[in-house]
Amino acid sequence: MAKIEVRNLTKVFGKRPKPALDMLKEQKSKDEILSKTGLTVGVNRATFDVHDGEVFVIMGLSGSGKSTLVRLLNRLIDPSDGQIQIDGDDLAKMNDTDLREVRRKKMSMVFQQFGLFPFRTILQNVEYGLEVQNIDKSDRREKAMKALSLVGLDGYEEQYPDQLSGGMQQRVGLARALANDPTILLMDEAFSALDPLIRKDMQDELLDLQASMKKTIVFITHDLDEALRIGDRIMIMKDGGVVQIGTPEEILINPADDYVRRFVEDVD
Ligand code: ADP
Ligand code: MG
């Protein structure tokens, strides 16, 4: 069974998306829809499965719909059409309580902006993430310490974010996401703000961690090198739609169209 099953998922921004949805069914382009209806297509009928325990990379140029897609996956925003199932449960049918449970137990998110509170220590930052998830106070300290240790931040607990480098701060972001041991990790351009060398270190670390923790990771990036390094499979998006899904080898050897080929040609 797929860990995440996405069918025909569509997001049109705006209060009355119907005209845009109709035009999408007629295969009209995002540009044409915008000019005729004033509505922006964020995600266009995306269909894919994410397997349990894989690193599933979503790649595409800026504006191709990656962030919208990941926001739909944890229902920060609601779809205009289509379905998402997590472990076989339909996300759209869940009430707020179920949804909180899913976010608490199953999914965590890491963003590009580290989002740390400057006046809280590293430990307090991670504990706060657990507090938001309604984890009992008595469990927070231990979970936070364990997560910090996991990402190599033993000894940094009492420091403040601005005492740490960008790479270290993103480790805190990762620790915060891992603290409650979710089965799914959503990472939206999590390493994109880091210097190239530190970024490579973080990619290696994530892969090291993944070898033992076996999460299901949805990793968003606009960088093909990064996608190829860390992805078990890569999904390429363009204008909100899915252009190709395949292993790194498949994408390199057999790009689906000129758009993908152009990405691939830039790889050293
Ligand atoms: P990416 O993360 O790949 O850069 P996004 O998902 O952020 O792409 O954006 C996809 C498209 O949706 C873009 O055309 C963007 O302008 C549009 N978009 C994103 N969020 C909103 C919003 N809240 N309102 C209107 N349009 C949006
Ligand atoms: Mg984005």
The helix/strand/coil state of 125 is helix
Ligand 1 atom closest to the CA of 222, numbered from 1: 3
CA of 193 to the centre of ligand 2 (A): 12
pLDDT digits (tens, 9 = 90+) for 88-100: 999 988 898 888 8
CA of 38 to the centre of ligand 1 (A): 14
Helices assigned H by DSSP within the chain: 18-25, 30-37, 66-73, 96-105, 122-132, 137-150, 166-178, 196-213, 224-230, 248-253, 258-265
Q: Residues within 5 Å of ion ligand 2 by Cβ?
A: 66-67
Residue whose entry in the numeric block shows the structure tokens 């599933």: 56
DSSP for 75-97? TSS--SEEEEEETTEEGGG--HH
CA of 189 to the centre of ligand 2 (A): 7
- Spans of the chain below 50 pLDDT: none
Tell me the best of 13, 218, 239 to mutate to test the pocket of ligand 1, counting ligand atoms within 8 Å of each CB and taking the most. Answer: 13
pLDDT at 250: 96
Ligand 1 atom closest to the CA of 71, numbered from 1: 6
pLDDT at 104: 82
pLDDT at 268: 58
pLDDT at 64: 96
pLDDT at 103: 84
pLDDT at 100: 85
pLDDT at 17: 95
Q: What is the ipTM of this complex?
A: 0.99
pLDDT at 161: 95
pLDDT at 105: 84
Name 219's bridge partners.
57, 187
pLDDT at 111: 86
* Helix count and strand count (H, E) for the chain: 11, 10
pLDDT at 142: 96
Ligand 1 atom closest to the CA of 43, numbered from 1: 10
Q: Which residues line ligand 1 (CB under 6 A)?
A: 13, 40, 42, 60, 62-68
Ligand at shortest distance from the CA of 68: 1
Ligand 1 atom closest to the CA of 240, numbered from 1: 10
Ligand at shortest distance from the CA of 17: 1
